[in-house]
């Protein structure tokens, strides 16, 4: 499996994955949103044998990083692809000096909540009727210790050299 930054030519595939994974209640991303995020945010894809099978999108706004979406095609689930994408993006955020990543998740999304807890996210609070269908959301956060940020930043700079 390869993880790489998404580029404009990935947008059609990303949009088709999005339509497969999310219905209208879940704020699916439009084709034009993908176009925007490729240029302005952290959007990574996971490839198997040259085909995109998963993606992760983190929105970057000043000093805040928010996990907006992560999705793995049904046939490829259970292979730790989501876990690897989250770890990959965390390394990038740490290298950039971020101290935490936030997210909102439907309280009925058992798989996603288990994934986030395994990675180390903790519950901040419940957001009542956050989704269009009235479902609540959990606001969760993953904190990166400041010291860890500094150490990883240094080692990443070494790797890049």
Ligand X SMILES: CC(C)(COP(=O)(O)OP(=O)(O)OC[C@H]1O[C@@H](n2cnc3c(N)ncnc32)[C@H](O)[C@@H]1OP(=O)(O)O)[C@@H](O)C(=O)NCCC(=O)NCCS
> What does the binding site for ligand X look like in residue numbers (CB under 6 A)?
21, 69-72, 77-83, 105, 109-112, 114-115, 118
- How far apart are CB 103 and ligand X at their closest, in Å? 8
- How far apart are CB 38 and ligand X at their closest, in Å? 18
Our CB check for ligand X shows the closer of 66 and 100 to be 66
Give the Cα separation of 141 and 21 in Å (integer).
23
Closest CA to 124 of 146, 99, 98, 102: 102
- How far apart are CB 106 and ligand X at their closest, in Å? 7
Sign of torsion over alpha carbons 154, 155, 160, 161: positive
Our CB check for ligand X shows the closer of 1 and 95 to be 1
- How far apart are CB 11 and ligand X at their closest, in Å? 18
Our CB check for ligand X shows the closer of 40 and 118 to be 118
- How far apart are CB 39 and ligand X at their closest, in Å? 21
How many helices (H) and strands (E) the chain has is answered by 5, 7
Our CB check for ligand X shows the closer of 21 and 95 to be 21
Our CB check for ligand X shows the closer of 3 and 112 to be 112
Which residues does 15 contact at the CB level (< 8 Å), separation at least 6?
29, 30, 31, 34
How far from chain centre, in Å, is Cα 33?
A: 15
Would you say 10 and 52 are in contact if contact means Cβ atoms under 8 Å apart?
yes
């Amino acid at each position: 499996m390869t993880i790489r930054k998404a580029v404009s030519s990935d947008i059609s595939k990303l949009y088709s994955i999005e339509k497969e994974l999310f219905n209208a209640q879940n704020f699916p991303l439009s084709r034009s949103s993908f176009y925007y995020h490729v240029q302005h945010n952290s959007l990574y894809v996971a490839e198997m044998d040259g085909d995109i099978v998963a993606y992760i999108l983190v929105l970057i706004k000043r000093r805040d990083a928010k996990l907006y979406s992560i999705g793995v095609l049904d046939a490829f689930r259970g292979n730790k692809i989501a876990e690897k994408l989250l770890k990959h993006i965390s390394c990038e955020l740490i290298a950039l000096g971020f101290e935490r990543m936030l997210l909102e998740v439907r309280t009925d999304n058992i798989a996603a909540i288990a994934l986030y807890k395994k990675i180390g996210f903790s519950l901040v609070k419940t957001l009542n009727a956050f989704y269009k269908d009235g479902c609540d959301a959990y606001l969760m956060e993953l904190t990166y210790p400041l010291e860890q940020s500094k150490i990883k930043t240094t080692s990443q700079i070494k790797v890049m050299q």
